[in-house]
Structure 1
Amino acid sequence: MYVLGIDGGGTKTTGIVADENGKVYIESHAGPSNPNTLTPDEFEEVLKGLTADLEKQDSVIFSQLAVCFAGMSGAGDSWRCDAKFEQVLTKFLPPQIEVIVRNDAYNVLYSETLGKPGIVQIAGTGSISFGLNHENKTVRSGGWGYLFDEAGSAYHLGNEALRAVFKNYDGRGPETVLTEEIINYFNVSDVTDLLGKIHGPEHPRSVIAQLAPLIIAAAENGDGVAAKIIRKACAEIMECIESCHKKLFAADHPTLVVLSGGVFANSQQLLDCLRELSKKTLPNIVLRQAHAAPVSGAVIGGLKAMGFNSIDENITERINLQLKKS
């Protein structure tokens, strides 16, 4: 039996066809598929191109697909949206296939827990906390978009840094090396020139998120303002994790919390801060950085839908070894 697993995000979309043993038969990549940043026609074209390429590579296996599990950025906010995503995918897949669309946080969680309960905290360009318990109850915290709440995300770090730079320029805040670092990054001569760079052809969210490594580096090198930004981000991330945990598990439950995204990959200081905070509020949780490819979690989601309750513990490693480097 074959499963189509899809991992759709704001940067790229990956689809693989695999079996219950983790053998990958077909793999394809396409552009971003976050419906919040694409028109309906653009969203449909991405999925059409992805599925067409998969079918082109092996039409026989493609025709025998049993389940498609798609973890998509922007999904999961309402059942109506998910139903629309499923309708779009169904148009390009074999008629017998079961199509399941979930938020891409499912992929990350399943890739590390093999479909078992836990919490995932994503902190990339955006952020979200997502959890699943033994009763299959799911909750989320944060991730309400960059205008409102993306605690601990790269955008959040960059935005806080710019606020600090502007306040310092006005004389309302302390000095920080972030001023020089950000001026140099944008290749301008003065703080007043920054707005033109931020409000350019690229979406400000993406531009601001790209500043995150500067804040992380400045904090690691002892800048007080940058360190404060990291501590604040850490506290807000912990609040989101606590919110999910409280709604899903007993206070002393040894829950696995998966940490995923570039912010965690690049900031040891934030990881250390998070571990210290967790000891005070949720001492029994286990924090683990994600290592498996999220698309492997989509395959696991498909296998669960097919009734596979016992997943081979080596399946994600097996899938990872077969994936193309892209």
Structure 2
Amino acid sequence: MYYVLGIDGGGTKTICLVMNEQRQILGRGEAGASNYQSIGANAALISIESAIKAAIEQTGKIQVQAICLGLAGAGRSKDIEVIQGIIRDLQQSPNLPIEWILPNNIIICHDALTALVGGIGNDVGVVVAAGTGTIVFGRNQQGQTKRVGGWGYILGDEGGAYNIAVAGMKAAMRAYDGRELSTCLVEDFKNQLGLESIEDLIEVVYRRGWGVREIASLAPVVDNAAVNGDEVAREIIDEGVRELVKATRVVVTELVGDDFEIVTVGSVWKAKSNIRKKFMESICAEFGNVRVILPRYEPAYGACLLALKQLHFS
């Protein structure tokens, strides 16, 4: 029996699945964040080890013939070197009852690839990830890939929750100043955060030590305002959709010819203001050969499939 590990690691949590060559899931483990760029390599190692340990508690001691790690920010050679060090430490860990048989069967990739493979069930198509940040990634039948976005909250991430939340707060402040149209976002942010005045938003944003994820958590304020008919909020949401369509258009135009699928993953697609419907209508009107789908499997499942493919189980 062949066993592989598929790991999906990000800035919030780490998931590990144990799969055999028949694509049966034999164990699942979850732990904390494993984006080493934000928490450090040692902390990332601890999270990955904990997720693996939890997954194999359901299997007992096993031989692992391949491992795939789909990790946030793992696209550069320097990142891969760090992650290779983490894998070496895992193989030497006394906490993992695993016999490692990994001559060349180690795959390190960015999490957009595992989201694509997990979401669609194979490695051909396009994934449009819109959570805290955004990235569009595609792969065609010839193995060519194209990535658009994923540049982080300062340089990109248009259409993501952080971008939507910041746009909403900026609109509220402009409306309060009288520089732009009035919007219910002024009162909505006050109510959400328990502020006496919208001016107190300064204390929240600058003095509480809020990071990207805390700010991104305010995106539903804008979403709800759009649902309730606020024109300013609607325009913010519509601009986010336009950016996601624009990024997807670049990937589709460059890569894909025949019929293919686009999988949407991430929290933004669950918005009440029909973001996903608007995106689908726009992209399908432009490209008649696409189908927009919800994820069939989770990214860690995609990591397992990539590991099996390395062992020639396709």
Q: Percent identity?
A: 29
Q: Does 1:121 align with 2:128?
A: yes
- Does the 8 Å CA contact 1:198/1:207 hold for their aligned counterparts? no
Counterpart in the other structure of 1:312: none
Q: Which amino acid aligns with 1:67?
A: A
Q: Which of 286, 295, 302 is the matching residue for 2:300?
A: 295
Offset at residue 57 of structure 1 (A)? 5.4
Offset at residue 24 of structure 1 (A)? 2.4
Offset at residue 104 of structure 1 (A)? 1.1
Counterpart in the other structure of 1:33: 34
Q: Which amino acid aligns with 1:239?
A: K
SS of aligned partner of 1:120: strand
Q: Which of 241, 244, 256 is the matching residue for 2:251?
A: 244
Offset at residue 59 of structure 1 (A)? 4.9
Pairs within 5 Å for 1:270-285: 270-285=275-290
SS of aligned partner of 1:48: helix
Going from structure 1 to structure 2, the CA distance change for 1:51 and 1:111 (only over 3 Å counts) comes to closer
Going from structure 1 to structure 2, the CA distance change for 1:132 and 1:56 (only over 3 Å counts) comes to same
Offset at residue 296 of structure 1 (A)? 1.2
Q: Unpaired runs of 5+ in structure 2?
A: 92-98
Q: Which amino acid aligns with 2:169?
A: L
Q: Which of 132, 135, 144 is the matching residue for 2:139?
A: 132
Pairs within 5 Å for 1:143-222: 143-222=150-229
Once superposed, which parts of structure 1, at least 4 consecutive aligned residues long, lie more than 6 Å away?
A: none
Offset at residue 275 of structure 1 (A)? 2.2
Measure, in 2, the Cα distance between the counterparts of 1:248 and 1:180: 45
SS of aligned partner of 1:168: helix
Task: Give the alignment's TM-score, normalised by structure 2.
Answer: 0.91
Q: Which amino acid aligns with 1:35?
A: Y
Structure 1 window deviating more from structure 2 (272-281 vs 218-227): it is 272-281
Give the number of equivalent residue pairs. 304
Offset at residue 194 of structure 1 (A)? 0.4
- Does the 8 Å CA contact 1:16/1:28 hold for their aligned counterparts? yes
Q: Which amino acid aligns with 1:230?
A: I
Measure, in 1, the Cα distance between the counterparts of 2:276 and 2:59: 43
SS of aligned partner of 1:136: coil
Offset at residue 54 of structure 1 (A)? 4.5
Offset at residue 280 of structure 1 (A)? 4.1
Q: Does 1:75 align with 2:80?
A: no
- Does the 8 Å CA contact 2:226/2:237 hold for their aligned counterparts? yes
Offset at residue 66 of structure 1 (A)? 0.5
Counterpart in the other structure of 1:258: 263
Q: Unpaired runs of 5+ in structure 1?
A: 310-326
SS of aligned partner of 1:271: helix
SS of aligned partner of 2:8: strand
